Amino acid sequence: MSLDEKNPAYHPESLPLPGDTRPAKSSSALKSFRKAILPIFLLTQAFYYFGLDETIGLTGRGDGGRGLDAVGAEADGGLCYQHEPLWPKTDFYKELDKVWKSDAFKDQAVEWLGGAVRVETESYDGMDEVGKDGRWHKFQKFHDYLEKSYPLVHKHLKLDKVNTYGLVFEWTGSDSSLKPLLLTGHQDVVPVEKSTYDAWIHPPFSGHYDGTYIWGRGSIDDKSGTIGIMSAVESLLRANKDYTPKRTIVLAFGMDEEVSGFKGAAHIAKYLEDTYTPKFGSSPFGLLVDEGGGYTKAYGKPIAALGTGEKGYGDVRMTVKTLGGHSSVPPDHTGIGLLSLLVAHLEANPHKANLTRSNPFYSTLTCAAEYAPDVNTVLRKLIKASAKSNKALGLLETFLDSRGEYRSLVKTTQAVDLIGGGIKVNALPETAFAVINHRINVASSTEELRQRITSIVEEKAKELNLTLSSFGKDVLTHSGVGHVELTEAFDKWLEPSPLTPTTKSTNGWKVLSGTIKGAYASRLKESDDDDEDDEIITSPSIMTGNTDTKYYWNLTDQIYRYNHLTEGDMYTYSGIHSVNEALKAVAFVNNVRFFGGLMLNVDSAEL
């Protein structure tokens, strides 16, 4: 996922949910919940003390006498409905799964992923158009590697290149009436700082296999996904060279996701719309799976968190303009000083939390409350009560907002990331600026962000006797000591994504959830001592950053962000985008099995 946009799947800005497999960005949200039991317990006891327990339903007698056991029971299967595990019905699947679990296939998988890591595909901010910037040429080497490594894919699938280096493969199905499955990933990786090379246990582009881990940049983000998909198709064709899926399968791999996807996924999206909309109408794909969350064990239960929504995005540039002059006779506040006061005022007025039941993170909480055995009893009751009680929901919202590891999931965040001003030490600055990054709550919008920041800055600008213009409109026009201007900093503003439906009757959720459960229950285990629970819970979750799916909203309403990986499968020294990125070979094999199983399962599914 793009470091500059999420700065979140592989991103610092994407707080890992249960199963979000990007370790060093943050600890798992549900794991962190363990630390929060005492505050919520004491807060809830205060509600008991003041006699509000019945009002919010914590004793099971509030909300019209409905007990906790009945909360959500009638709502499309109740809290966090779970589908049955799903295994492919294809004749050759059992034999194929034996191959996938063999030592010989693991060796092959190691070579596939390790070889891909050895082809350097770094993308950089500010890269010029394809054809003008020579740094794009490295992706041809990656294409050559894919063609050599996956001969059956290139023989049986139709390949189109979009904007030269974007890849779109079509595995044409036998039933042309069925909407295709779309699997996406990206070829590029974040750059490796030359100064950090010595900190790597194994060189960053070595693809070294030490018997457990495959080392190198991209071994997780996102060559584990892109190469996992390619490996699944190749192994399916190896098992049955005459196999043709019933449902068309499309693979799409951009080459600049880490720098926002302008040259890759943006072009691929248009190609896919132009190609498949005439055949299938609007929303031409039945299901889309891209990189994103993963699974983890939280509160005594394995939980897979599928990204079913992403927060919005907006960078605001705040510019202060004042008269210059000599530093020997300064005003009370220079332009930089005025800017600092405005920034401090913004930070003193953070966005308010707004936890809605449609927020995918709320679904994550309800799944934990319903199925994880080690969730604190009081917390479990509070979460369950919140399904029917707005007061309980408000209490839960207040608690989450009080916890640093959770507040970003229930509110719009703001972070002052860039600042500048002044040109000489003895000259008063005439211009100073700051750029404030926002990740917009799923319950909010870009327009609400504009209105709110205008209101907050206006308060302080009046106090400081500054005029103000905001997003092209004059707000304060009196004569002042200087002028403040709010503008969109970069061409990256993005509304929160549409939320993927995940009801009991949602076909995409059913087949994907069932495939995850089947793949996990039959997973290749690292050792005979692996006695982990073979049942996994699937849950919606929220992405605080943005993936390439931001360009694919028109292709389907069934968009899921998920890689079948877990935090324990990764070397978590410093994180996905830092030194020592590495993935266990066993985990990569299981990822291949997941993608292969999904490709087979969609043939017998309604989408």
Residue 606, marked binder: no
Helix (H) or strand (E) holding 277: helix 265-280
Tokens representing 436? 């404030």
Helix (H) or strand (E) holding 507: helix 507-521
- Check whether the bond before 222 is cis (ω within 30° of 0): yes
Task: Give the torsion through C-alpha atoms of 391, 395, 397, 401, to 10 deg.
Answer: 150
Nearest to 381 by CA among 390, 392, 371: 392
Nearest to 249 by CA among 594, 600, 606: 600
**CA–CA separation, 483 and 477 (whole Å):** 9
Residue carrying the six token digits 């968190």: 305
Which long-range contacts link 473-481 to residues 24+ away (Cβ below 8 Å)?
481/322, 481/331, 481/338
- Alpha carbon separation from 286 to 93, 290, 519 (Å, rounded): 23, 14, 21
Catalytic pick from 13, 257, 291, 567? Answer: 257
Which segments of 101-253 does DSSP mark as H helices, in order?
A: 103-118, 138-149, 151-156, 223-239
Catalytic pick from 188, 405, 567, 581? Answer: 188
φ, ψ of residue 291 to 5 degrees: the values are -60, 160
Residue 577, marked binder: yes
Positive or negative: CA dihedral 124, 126, 129, 131 = negative
**CA–CA separation, 236 and 599 (whole Å):** 9
Read off the amino acid at residue 87. W
- Under 8 Å between Cβ of 157 and 171: yes
Positive or negative: CA dihedral 576, 580, 581, 583 = negative
**CA–CA separation, 222 and 1 (whole Å):** 8
Nearest to 30 by CA among 292, 302, 221: 302
Residue 103, marked binder: no
Active site residue 526: no
Residue 290, marked binder: yes
**CA–CA separation, 91 and 169 (whole Å):** 25
Residue 221, marked binder: yes
Pairing of strands 473-476, 466-470: antiparallel
The SS3 call for residue 160 is: strand
Active site residue 603: no
Tokens representing 137? 């040429």
The SS3 call for residue 186 is: strand
**CA–CA separation, 420 and 284 (whole Å):** 46
The SS3 call for residue 607 is: coil
Q: How many CA atoms lie within 13 A of 30 on its CB side?
A: 37
Which of the residues are catalytic? 188, 257
> Can you say which residues are annotated as belonging to the binding site?
186, 221, 258, 290, 577
As annotated, the binding site for Zn(2+) includes 186, 221, 258, 290, 577
